Structure 1
Amino acid sequence: METGLRLLRAARRTFTGPAALLGDPVLRERAAGYLADLTRPYGLRVPAGLFDAPAAALGQSYGEMAAELIPAVVPPDEPVDLLVLAFAVHDMLPGRATAAYLSHVCPGTPMSFALCDQGSAAAFTGLRIARAYGCRRALVLTVEQAVLPYDAAVPVPARHRAVAMLYDALADDGATGGDSDGAAGGPELIGLGGGARVTALRQHVDVDAGDVAALAAAEVGELTAGRTDVAVVLGADLA
C-alpha cells in the first residue's frame, strides 16, 4: 500500500573531470575492455587508446558521485531502510555493483537496487517504488554523467550531476533542515522551507507525442484541484 513521503533533506552537486578510480591504470584497462565488449555487438566502437592517459576526457563513476552526497543528507544516527539509485546513462565502470556498494557506505546498510533503461523517467519510478515499499526512511539518488566513449544515438547530459533526496514516511511536522551552500566544491543542500511531501505520483507509458500536452494538462488540473500556487517543471524533451 502506497503512503505519502516527506522530503527531509536534499542535496545536489555538479562534478568535473573523470572518476578518481580511473586514475588507476589497471581499472582503466579493465573499463576499456569491458565497454568495448559491450558495445561491439551493436556496431559501436570505443576508440583505441582513449583510456591510455589518466587525463583523458573520460566520464564519472556513480559510486563516487553518490557516495559524496550521502553524508550530506543522511546523519549517522538516522539509518536508511531503502536506497534507490536511478540513472539513464551508464557510468564509466558499468561492471561494478554500485547499488550494493552504496548500501555499504550508507547508514543502516539499506536494501538497495538500481533503476535504469527508463530514460528521464527513472527518478520518478524510484519515487513510486519508495512510496510503495512502505519503509520508514528511503534515500533516492539520481545520477547522470556526460561522457560516453562511443557515439550515442541520443544526446547525453550536459554535466556530471547528482541529486540525493532523503524521505521519511513517518515524519512529523517539525523542522526539515535549513539552507546551506555547503563547502566549496562540495554538496549543496537544498532549502526545503516548510517541508515538501510526495502525496501523488502519476506515470504513463506508450503515450504518443501528439497526446502529451492534453494528458499533462488533465493531470495537472486534477492534481492541483484549482490551486494557483503551483509550479510546473518541464523536462527538456517535453518543453
Structure 2
Amino acid sequence: MRTFLPPGAAAAASPPDEARTDGPPPAWGIRRAVRLAFPGPGAPAGDPVHGARLRRYLTDLLHPYGLELAPGAPAPGAAEPGGRCYGEMAEALIRAAVPEGEAVDLLVLAHAVPDITPGRATTTWLSHVCPGTPMALAVSDQGAASAFTALRLVDAYARSGGLRRALLLVVEQDSLPYDPGVPVVVPAGSRGVALLFGDRLPRERTAAVSRVATRVLADGSPAAALAAELAGPGDAPARKAATGILGTTAAAAAAHPWPPGLRFADAGQPATGVWWDLAGELAEPSTGPRTVVLADYDAGPDHLSTATIVLDGGDADAGTVVLADYDAGPHHLSTATVVLDGGDADAGAEVGVPR
C-alpha cells in the first residue's frame, strides 16, 4: 500500500515536545469562507467538439445500464448548452479564498453531480493552480454526503498530517443530460463554496469544526436524530445558542416533525445549499459564542449527515467571508468581503479573473 502525505508531513512525524500530537492546534478551524454563483453555461458547454465527444462518452457509459441521453443534449450547436466544468469553478474559488502570499497543503473537492469535462484530471489541475501545489483529491458519488466526507478527511489530515492550511471546495453544476434511473434533484444553478482551514492569524478567530458524521438511520427517524445532535453533548453557552441548518428535498421537509427553529437550505441546491448558508452565517456579526449544526438528510438511503461548527465569539476578527458572483462572459468576479468584527469591509469590489 502506498501512503501519500501532504508537504511537511514527514517533518511532523517527530514533533517537538511542546507540539500537539492528538489533534489540530486549538486555533485550527475555518478562517475564510467564500461562496460563488456561476450563472449561465461555461465555455466547454458551448464548444461543439467538446459536445460531440461528451455525447459519445456518455452514450457508451450509459448503454450497459439501459439508459439514454436526453434528446439533443449534449449536442453540437445545441440551442441551450448548459453546465459548468468544475475546474473553472474551483479555480475562481481558489483565487477568492486563498489570501495573497499564503500556501495550501491539502485541497479536497466535493461534488455530487458529474462534471461536464470527465476527461480532465481536475484535482491534478487544481493542485497546479492552487498556491502551495497542495496534495489534492476529490470525493463524489455520495450525494450530498460527499461534502461531509470531505470535511472528515480534512479533519483527519489536520490531526495526523501536520497541515498548516487546507481548502475544502464544494461545487455543483446544473446540467445532467440523462435520467440516472433513480430520483435525483438537478441543481437549479451552478454554485460553489470554499472553506479555508488553518491556524488563526493575529486578530483572527476561527470557527472550529467537530462531530462530523454520516449515519444510517435504522429507525427512520431523522427528526429525532437531528434534535439529539442539536442538543449536543453539553450545556456550554455556544451549544445553547445552536442554529440548525438542514438540506433535504421539499418532500422530506414536509414528511417529518423537524425540531422547532430549524432553518432549511435551498432545496434547489442539494449539494451546496447548507454550505452556502454556512458562509452567510459566518458573515453575521459576533454576539458571543454560538454553534451552527449543518445537516443533510437523504431520504433514499435514509442517511443523515451532520457537522457542528462552533464560533468562539471572541473580540478578534472572525474568519473573513467573501460573498461573490462570477460572470463567465467578461470573466468578472464581483465580491463583497464581510469582516466579522462589525468594522469596515470592502464591498462590491470587482476583479478580473485571468484565463
| Structure 2 residue 92 is matched with structure 1 residue 68 | yes
| Structure 2 residue 203 is matched with structure 1 residue 174 | yes
Distance across 1 between alignment mates of 2:194 and 2:219: 30
Q: What corresponds to 2:11 in structure 1? A: none
Segment of structure 1 superposing worse, 91-100 or 220-229: 220-229
Q: What corresponds to 2:247 in structure 1? A: 235
Q: After superposition, what is the alpha-carbon deviation per residue over 1:31-51, rounded to whole angstroms, capped at 9, x for unaligned? A: 111111112222221145431
Distance across 1 between alignment mates of 2:105 and 2:82: 33
Distance across 1 between alignment mates of 2:241 and 2:156: 27
Distance across 2 between alignment mates of 1:133 and 1:105: 21
Q: What corresponds to 1:157 in structure 2? A: 187
Distance across 1 between alignment mates of 2:87 and 2:218: 35
Which structure carries more strand by proportion?
Answer: 2
Which runs of at least 4 in structure 1 moved beyond 4 Å after TM superposition?
none
Segment of structure 1 superposing worse, 158-167 or 145-154: 145-154
Letter in 2 for 1:100: T
Shift of 1:30: 1.3
Rate the CA distance shift 1:224–1:118 in 2: closer, same or farther, 3 A.
farther
* Contact 1:17-1:57 at 8 Å conserved across structures: no
Q: What corresponds to 2:230 in structure 1? A: 220
Q: What corresponds to 1:128 in structure 2? A: 152
Rate the CA distance shift 1:210–1:74 in 2: closer, same or farther, 3 A.
same
| Structure 2 residue 40 is matched with structure 1 residue 30 | no
Rate the CA distance shift 1:208–1:225 in 2: closer, same or farther, 3 A.
same
Which structure carries more helix by proportion?
Answer: 1
Shift of 1:58: 2.1
* Contact 1:224-1:230 at 8 Å conserved across structures: no
Distance across 1 between alignment mates of 2:224 and 2:102: 42
Distance across 2 between alignment mates of 1:215 and 1:174: 37
Q: What corresponds to 1:101 in structure 2? A: 125
* Contact 1:66-1:141 at 8 Å conserved across structures: yes
Shift of 1:54: 5.6
Q: What corresponds to 2:6 in structure 1? A: none
| Structure 2 residue 170 is matched with structure 1 residue 142 | yes
Letter in 2 for 1:156: V
Shift of 1:224: 5.7
Residue among 201, 204, 207 paired with 1:196: 207
Q: Percent identity?
A: 47
Segment of structure 1 superposing worse, 148-157 or 200-209: 200-209
Structure 1 gap ranges (5+): 176-193
Letter in 2 for 1:45: E
Letter in 2 for 1:140: L
Q: After superposition, what is the alpha-carbon deviation per residue over 1:119-151, rounded to whole angstroms, capped at 9, x for unaligned? A: 111111111111110211000000011221112
Segment of structure 1 superposing worse, 135-144 or 18-27: 18-27
Q: After superposition, what is the alpha-carbon deviation per residue over 1:31-88, rounded to whole angstroms, capped at 9, x for unaligned? A: 1111111122222211454311165332111111111111111134111000000011
Structure 2 gap ranges (5+): 1-21, 254-355
How many pairs align? 219
Residue among 15, 29, 37 paired with 1:6: 29
Letter in 2 for 1:174: R
Q: What corresponds to 2:107 in structure 1? A: 83
Q: TM-score, normalised by structure 1?
A: 0.83
